Structure 1
Amino acid sequence: MSSSVGTGIETFVALLLSHLPSDRVVSDPAAITGLVRPWNAQVRSRPAVVVRCQTTADVQATVRAAQSANLPLSVRGGGHDWAGGSIRDGGVVVDLTTMREVVIDGDEALVRGGATVSDVLDAARPHGFAAAVGTVSTVGFAGLTLGGGYGTLIGLVGLGVDNMLSAEVVLADGRVVTADPHHEPELFWALRGGGGNFGVVTAIRTRLHPHATVVTGTIAFGWDQARSVLRGWRDLTASADDALDVMFGAMHTPAGLVLFTAPTWAGDPEQGLQQIAAVRALGDPVLDDVDRRALADTVHALDEAFPAGLHYRLGSRTLPGLTDAAIEDFVGAAEAMPATCVLNVHHAHGAATRVPVTETAYPYRDDHLVVEIIGAWAEGDGVAESSWVDDTGYRLDPYALPGGWANLMEPDDPRARDAYGENTSRLLAVKESYDPDGVFTALPLPK
C-alpha cells in the first residue's frame, strides 16, 4: 500500500468516526474478509474499509468522507454483483446489507437499498401482492431493478424499471435527492436502466401487483426432444396471453442433459391448467412439478441452483427471436456445456414491449430473449467453464442484437458501447450532470 493511500484511509476513518459508531467502520482485514464474502468466489478484490450503513445519513457521511480522502467508492446491496463492481480493491464499500426494510403501503412498497428480492416478495405476500422482478431470492432488489429487472410477471406488468415510482439517491457530493417524474426527472429517467451509476440508491418505491400466488413450476424434456420443444415454444409464445411466461434453458441432471421450461401463469386461476397444458404438450416431459404456489416460494426454490461461494463466470446475448439457425446453435452450445454450467433464457413480451424505447434508459422494448450463459465450478481454474461461456457467446453472436443487458456484462465488455442504443447520448449527459468525476461505476457505460 502506498503512503498516500494509507494516509487517505486514515483520513477517511478519522472523518467518519466523528459521525458513526466505531463498530460500523470496519478496517481490520480479517473482519473485512468476513463481511464481504462475495457470492462469486472469483471476485478477489478486497476493500480497505467497509462502512456498515444503517441510515441514509450514514451513507451521506460515508460518501463525503470518501470524497474528502480521495478514495474510490463502491456500493454493496444484495451482494450478487457477479463481476465484482460492488467491491473496489483498496477502496471504500458502502455496505447497505443491513438496510433491508420493506414497507408495504397499499399497492406500493418502499424498499431500502439492501433488501433482496426475497425481502420484497415475503413482505408483500401477506397482503396478496408481488413485485415485478425476481427469479432468485437472494439477488438485491435495487440492483436488479435499476439494471432493467426481468421477472416472471413481465408480460403482465413489464420490467422492474417500469414499476419504479421514485428513488432516494445520495449523490457524489453527499446531497440527498428524490428522483421521480416531477423531481429530478432526468435522473429518474437514467436510473431506470442505467443502474447505480449516478449515486447511492438508498430506497426505491415500486408498484406491487395482486399476483402473490401463481401457477408455476418446472416442466423438463429429454434432450432428444430439445429441437422440437424449442420450435414449439416459439409457436406457443407467438400468440400466448400476456399472463403466461415461459422461461427455458438447458442443464445437466443425474438423468442427463434436459431442456427445461419454467412456465408461470399469473392470470385467471380457472385458465391455469389449460395454459400449462399447452406447455406440457410441447413434448413428453421427464419432470413435471407445476402447481399453484406463492411466487415468493418459487424464487426461494431456485437459490440452491446458484449458491453463494461457487466460482462464476457469466455471459449473455440478447436475441430478437428464436430462428431455426439459433435453435441449432443453442442446442450445440448446450451439448458442449460442462456439467456444472447452465443456459437460462428470459423472454421479454407483453407489457414490457409496449413501453416506448425512450421512456426509460433501458432500450430493449421489442419482443426479445436474454440468454444467460452461466459458467459455474466449485474448484479448480475454471478454464473449461470460462472457455465454454466465451464460445457460447461467439456462437450466438450472429443472431444477437447489438449491446445487451449491462447487468450481465463485465466492466470492460466492448458491447457496452451499444447497450443503450438511441438513449446513449441522453444517458451520458445525465452522467456528466450528476457524476462528472465518475465516482459511481455500478454498470458498464458507453465510452
Structure 2
Amino acid sequence: MTSPVGNGVEIAVGLLREQLPADRVVAGEATAEAVKPWNAQVRQRPAVIARCHTTDDVRTAVLAARSAGLPLSVLGGGHDWGGGAIRDGGLLVDLSAMRRVTVEGAADGALDGAVEGRVVGTADGAEARVAGGATVSDVLDAVRPHGYAAAVGTVSSVGFAGLTLGGGYGTLIGLLGLGVDNLLSAEVVLADGRVVTADPEHEPDLFWALRGGGGNFGVVTELRTRLHPHAEVTTGLIAFSWEQAGSVLRGWRNLTAAADDVDDPAFADDALDVMFGALHTPAGLVLFTSPTWAGDPARADEQIARVRALGEPVLEDVGRRALADAVHAMDELFPQGRSYHLGSRLLPVLTDAAIDEFVRAGDAMPTTCALNVHHAHGAVTRVAVDATAYQYRDEHLVVEILGSWTDGDGDGDGDGDGGAGAAEAGWVRDTERRLDAYALPGGWPNLMARDDPRAAGAFGGNTERLLAVKAHYDPDGMFTAMPLPR
C-alpha cells in the first residue's frame, strides 16, 4: 500500500470530515483522552479516530486510511492486553457506539434502549444479530429476557466479536462448543471498501477463516450467532485451601475424565463445566473451582456435590442464577484501567508433573495476580479440526496467566529492573516457562502479543489455507487484529 504525497493524517481527517459528523472525528492530542483501553499498559495512541455508528461509517474510515496510507486498527471491547486494537500514529475505527443486539426467534416484543427484540421465526431456532462493538454484557443482557444465552466468555466487558472470532471459550463450552461453532454469518467491510456477508454459502473461505483467524481480514460490523435456552444455570464458586491444591486437581482430573459409556453417571457430563485456578482472597491463597451446571436443574445438587467432594471447601457460593449475572460477577476481578501482563499455555492433559508445576506457580504468585484454567471438552471435540480456522479440537485446557498491578507508571516488562509491574510480569513469564514442557505447540491467539513467536504454530494444518485467504482478502496487510504465522 503506497502513501499519497502529503500528510497522511491531514488527508484522512479531511476525508472523514467530508462524510462523518464533526464530533465523530477525533484527531491530535484529543485522541489520548478519547481512548481508554482495558489495560493501562497500552501506551500507543492513534493519530485519528473515526467514531463509527453504521457500516457505511466503517467503510468510510477504511477507505480513508487506505487513501492516506495510515495504519488501521479496530476497537471493539478494547480487551486485547497487548494493545492490538490501537496502532501508534494510525487511524482507529472505533466501534464502541455500534452495540445493538437484535434477538430473533424469541416471543417478546421490543426492548428498550440500544437492545431490541423482535419475533422472527427461524428454522434453526433463536439467534441474535450482534453489532461489531457489542460486549458480552450487551449480548447476555439482551437475550436473557427471552430465556436464552449465547456462547460467551467469563468477563462481561470483553468485546463479543473479538471473543467469538478468536475462538470463544466460555462456561457452556461442553454443551455449545466454542463461539466460532455458533457463528452463523458475519458482515465484513473489506480492505477495498466492499461490504460482504460471509456464511456457508457466501464467501465460504472468508467465513471459514473468520472462525478462529479473527479480525485479520476486514472489519466485522455484525455477527449472527445461535442462541440457546440456558439463560439460568447453577453456578458459582467452591474454593479450597492452597494446601489441598494438588489433591483437588488430581480429583478434578478424575471428575472430568471422559467415559467410554456416555450414560455412566460416574463420569463427566457435557453440561458440567468446572473451571479452576489460583486466587488470593481474604481467606488466603486458594485453589478455586467455578462449577457451572447447565443440564436438568433437578440434577444440579448431585453435580455440584461431586465438585464439593474434591476436598474440604473454605469458601462456597453456588446457586441457581442468570448466566448474565454470573458473568458480570467476574468483572471486579479484572477491572478496566489496571495494568496487565497476560500469558497462556494450552495443555492437552493435566499430568501429575503439570499439576506440580501449577502448584509451584501458585506458591510464587504475587497477590494481585491469578491463574484461570478453561476446560475444552464435550461439543468442542466433536468438530473437525479443519472445519474452522481454529485448530484445537481435542480435549484440552487453556491456562490463563494473569499478571496485574495498580501502578500504571511501570512498563511491566519483567526485566528485573524493579519497576512497577516487573515482579508480576516476571511471574507470568516464569509460569509460562514452567508449563512449556507440557504445552501444545502454538496457543490461543486471543492471548498472544502481536510478536509472540508461538503464532507460527497456532493454526497447525490450517495455516496454509488461512494465509491464502488472508492474501486474497487483504493483500496489503491492512488488518492485524491477531498474530498470524509469517
TM-score, normalised to structure 1, is 0.98
Query: Counterpart in 1 of 2:50?
Result: 51
Say yes or no: does 1:441 pair with 2:453: no
Query: Counterpart in 2 of 1:335?
Result: 363
**Letter matched to residue 297 of structure 1:** D
Say yes or no: does 1:158 pair with 2:177: yes
Unaligned runs of 5+ in 1: none
Give the one of 385, 399, 409 matched to 1:357. 385
Query: Counterpart in 2 of 1:19?
Result: 19
Give the alignment of 1:37-436 within 5 angstroms: 37-106=36-105, 107-238=126-257, 239-379=267-407, 380=410, 381-436=420-475
Deviation string, structure 1 residues 232-271 (Cα, Å, up to 9, x no partner): 0000001310000000000111221100000000000000
1:6 is displaced (CA, Å) by 7.4
Deviation string, structure 1 residues 120-159 (Cα, Å, up to 9, x no partner): 0000000000001120000000000000000000000100
Give the distance between the partners of 2:238 and 2:472, measured in 1 at CA: 48
| Identity, % of aligned positions | 73
1:33 is displaced (CA, Å) by 2.0
Say yes or no: does 1:10 pair with 2:10: yes
**Letter matched to residue 287 of structure 2:** L
Partner-residue secondary structure (3-state), 1:233: helix
Report if aligned partners of 2:16, 2:50 keep a CA contact under 8 Å in 1: no
Partner-residue secondary structure (3-state), 1:197: coil
1:34 is displaced (CA, Å) by 2.2
1:38 is displaced (CA, Å) by 1.1
Deviation string, structure 1 residues 29-86 (Cα, Å, up to 9, x no partner): 1x32222111101100010011100000000011001100100000000111111010
Change (3 A) 1:407 1:5: farther
Report if aligned partners of 2:232, 2:322 keep a CA contact under 8 Å in 1: yes
Give the distance between the partners of 1:353 and 1:5, measured in 2 at CA: 52
Unaligned runs of 5+ in 2: 106-125, 258-266, 411-419
Judge which range, 9-18 or 296-305, deviates more.
9-18
Give the distance between the partners of 1:66 and 1:139, measured in 2 at CA: 26
Q: RMSD value over aligned CA atoms?
A: 1.1
**Letter matched to residue 385 of structure 1:** E
Give the distance between the partners of 1:218 and 1:136, measured in 2 at CA: 15
Partner-residue secondary structure (3-state), 1:356: coil
1:4 is displaced (CA, Å) by 8.7
1:18 is displaced (CA, Å) by 1.3
Partner-residue secondary structure (3-state), 1:166: strand
Give the distance between the partners of 2:442 and 2:64, measured in 1 at CA: 36
Partner-residue secondary structure (3-state), 2:103: strand
Alignment size in residue pairs: 444
Report if aligned partners of 2:103, 2:127 keep a CA contact under 8 Å in 1: yes
Partner-residue secondary structure (3-state), 1:18: helix
Partner-residue secondary structure (3-state), 1:149: coil
Give the distance between the partners of 1:425 and 1:141, measured in 2 at CA: 27
Report if aligned partners of 2:101, 2:129 keep a CA contact under 8 Å in 1: yes
Partner-residue secondary structure (3-state), 1:165: strand
Query: Counterpart in 1 of 2:413?
Result: none
TM-score, normalised to structure 2, is 0.90
Query: Counterpart in 2 of 1:32?
Result: 31
Change (3 A) 1:6 1:28: farther
Give the distance between the partners of 1:367 and 1:373, measured in 2 at CA: 20
1:322 is displaced (CA, Å) by 0.4
